[in-house]
């Protein structure tokens, strides 16, 4: 094409083709809509479309596509970071393919919004389209990725050879590498805070940490981490370890290290995790610390287990915990975000049929589910880097932990799925019995510190806030910046991010946020200040681990955390 007239004629032809392409795209979208409505084999709700919105989308699509064509494959830089490298903008064909892809993506997502159906079906449709878009990006294919092609030329093919080696390695291990795992070793450079295992049963080991101060608070502190991950997210390295921070602040600290479930645990239930897990740990820490009450923290699912355990204890007339801290925790599952899209009666029944009596939910299945909630960041980003560019991902302790998955007993998982995510029974006073006791969250009447992360995609901030409407004691809610993990692991020394406070606790999170005050830095400082009055007076730090019948079994972090899924 050598003249403006040639471009004009081509543009006219492309506009005609775009009309046909729109029709084909719409038909494909309808097929996708039908599939998206049934991720768990439930009957799909009817899906219609607003004709006016579709017409507007059609007009906008043709106009934008014609504008791109009329530019004549001119250089252009995309705002999307997948296409931000200079190699994309300097290659007119690659730049054009990225621009067309982004236009298609905007249009398909616009069609999602034009769909007329119930909110859950629309959410499923949007999720399916987002997954398809993430997978079909031109950056994911060597034949279309200008940056990977340039790397191959510059390295004389070495990047492709390394990419094949990376792919073969990941195929053998069964998941996409997010970090250089060879750099890390549990107990050597992650989970390094000094301590000893002082109790164990078939579900968990209890680790006591060595005091770093001459005096400690008289009330010991117990941490209940999530059982769907390993505890050392709270003890990655000295500079970002919540465990070490607690010890440095003079708290005699204990942490549960859940066992990575194998066939010997495949019949364990939610009752077992509450009774032989959290309640047993609480009692053991009280005995070792010779203390009538302790303070306790639950993180994510660990917080749900701890909350259930405290409700059981109060139903028994017991009061073993002086204060409770809940980090990114669901007690009320009415707002579970994108995870709600997967869960309905048929999905729950299917899981109960396969896992309700015995069996294991494999850790890699859970890990993959959470990764695909953010597919561009946690899946395709590494596919492109590892395989197309032949890169070794840099060492990152948090991503090493993220890849160290854990199995769950089937019956425990099936009960949790139905009674929390699907039926939200924990939030209904007396609806369920655990360990023989009716659960009523209002009976958890000790002071509570509740933390939620603003950008959390696993426990949305509204879901974290909902706990304030159920717990019976005096409560403090704090919101931190960032997501489920990075928001929690934010040591003060880094001087990063912000947190928000509001002493008023209205029923809705939006009302709370409207009156909240932002503070620079880490929420840890606010929490430690809150915790201190509940920790009791200062006493001499113990000279040895355990007490009485509780003897040191092995050094921290113990052997349970070493087991791989």
Enzyme catalytic residues: 300
User: 101-112 burial string, b = 16+ CB within 10 Å, else e?
Assistant: bbbbbebbeebb
Backbone φ, ψ for residue 543 (5° rounding): -90, -15
- Residue 178 half-sphere exposure toward CB, CA atoms < 13 A: 19
Among left, alpha and beta (phi > 0; psi -120 to 50; other), residue 72 is left
Q: What is the DSSP string of 112-153?
A: HHHEES-HHHHHHHHHHHHHHHHHH-GGGSTTT-HHHHHHHH
CB-CB contact of 326 with 278 (8 Å): no
Residue 174's region, left for phi above 0, alpha for psi from -120 to 50, else beta, is left
At which residue do the structure tokens 């981490």 appear?
225
Angle at 330 between CA 329 and CA 334, to 5 degrees: 150
In angstroms, what is the C-alpha Rg of the chain? 27
In this structure, are residues 397 and 236 in contact, taking their beta carbons and an 8 Å threshold?
A: yes
List the one residue out of 485, 465, 462, 483 whose CA is nearest residue 475.
465
Left (φ > 0), alpha (ψ -120 to 50) or beta: where does 250 sit? left
Work out the widest C-alpha separation in the chain, in whole angstroms: 93
**Dihedral sign of CA atoms 374, 375, 381, 386 in order:** positive
Nearest to 487 by CA among 460, 468, 512: 460
Report CA-CA distances (Å) from 212 to 188, 215, 274, 280. Answer: 19, 9, 31, 26
* Residue for token pair 């940056």: 147
Beta strands in 240-317 (DSSP E): 253-258, 294-299
């Amino acid at each position: 094409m050598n003249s403006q007239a040639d471009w004009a004629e081509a543009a006219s032809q492309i506009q005609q083709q775009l009309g046909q392409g729109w029709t084909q795209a719409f038909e494909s979208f309808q097929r996708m809509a039908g599939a998206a409505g049934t991720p768990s084999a439930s009957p799909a709700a009817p899906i219609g479309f607003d004709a006016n919105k579709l017409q507007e989308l059609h007009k906008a699509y043709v106009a934008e596509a014609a504008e791109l064509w009329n530019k004549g494959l001119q250089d252009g830089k995309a705002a999307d970071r997948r296409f931000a490298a200079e190699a994309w903008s300097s290659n007119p064909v690659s730049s054009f393919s990225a621009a067309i892809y982004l236009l298609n993506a905007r249009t398909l997502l616009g069609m999602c919004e034009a769909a007329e159906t119930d909110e859950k079906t629309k959410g499923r449709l949007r999720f399916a389209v987002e997954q398809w878009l993430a997978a079909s990006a031109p950056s994911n294919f060597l034949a279309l990725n200008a940056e990977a092609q340039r790397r191959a030329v510059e390295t004389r093919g070495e990047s492709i050879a390394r990419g094949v080696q990376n792919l073969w390695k990941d195929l053998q291990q069964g998941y996409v590498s997010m970090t250089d795992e060879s750099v890390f070793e549990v107990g050597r450079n992650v989970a390094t805070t000094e301590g000893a295992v002082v109790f164990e049963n078939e579900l968990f080991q209890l680790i006591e940490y060595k005091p770093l101060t001459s005096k400690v608070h008289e009330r010991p502190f117990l941490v209940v981490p999530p059982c769907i991950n390993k505890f050392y997210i709270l003890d990655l390295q000295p500079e970002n370890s919540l465990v070490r921070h607690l010890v440095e602040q003079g708290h005699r600290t204990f942490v549960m290290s859940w066992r990575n479930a194998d066939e010997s645990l495949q019949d364990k239930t939610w009752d077992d995790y509450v009774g032989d897990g959290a309640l047993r740990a609480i009692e053991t820490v009280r005995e070792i610390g010779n203390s009538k009450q302790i303070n306790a923290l639950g993180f994510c699912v660990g917080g749900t287990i701890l909350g259930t355990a405290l409700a059981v204890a109060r139903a028994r007339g017991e009061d073993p915990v002086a204060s409770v801290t809940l980090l990114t925790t669901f007690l009320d599952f009415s707002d579970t975000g994108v995870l709600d899209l997967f869960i309905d009666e048929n999905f729950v029944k299917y899981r109960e049929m396969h896992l309700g009596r015995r069996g294991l939910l494999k850790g890699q299945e859970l890990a993959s589910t959470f990764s695909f909630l953010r597919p561009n960041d946690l899946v395709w980003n590494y596919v492109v880097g590892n395989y197309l560019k032949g890169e070794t991902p840099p060492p990152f302790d948090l991503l090493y932990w993220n890849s160290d998955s854990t199995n769950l007993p089937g019956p425990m998982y099936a009960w949790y799925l139905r009674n929390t995510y699907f039926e939200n029974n924990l939030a209904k006073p007396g609806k369920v019995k655990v360990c023989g006791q009716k659960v009523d969250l209002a009976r958890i009447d000790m002071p509570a510190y509740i933390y939620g992360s603003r950008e959390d995609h696993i426990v949305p901030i509204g879901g974290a806030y909902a706990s304030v409407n159920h717990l019976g004691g005096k409560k403090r809610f704090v919101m931190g910046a960032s997501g489920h993990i990075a928001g929690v692991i934010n040591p003060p020394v880094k001087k990063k991010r912000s947190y928000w406070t509001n002493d008023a606790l209205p029923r809705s999170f939006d009302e709370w946020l409207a009156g909240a005050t932002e503070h620079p830095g880490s929420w840890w400082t606010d929490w430690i200040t809150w915790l201190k009055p509940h920790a009791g007076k200062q006493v001499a730090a113990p000279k040895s681990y355990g007490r009485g019948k509780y003897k040191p079994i092995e050094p921290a972090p113990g052997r349970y955390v070493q087991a791989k899924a």
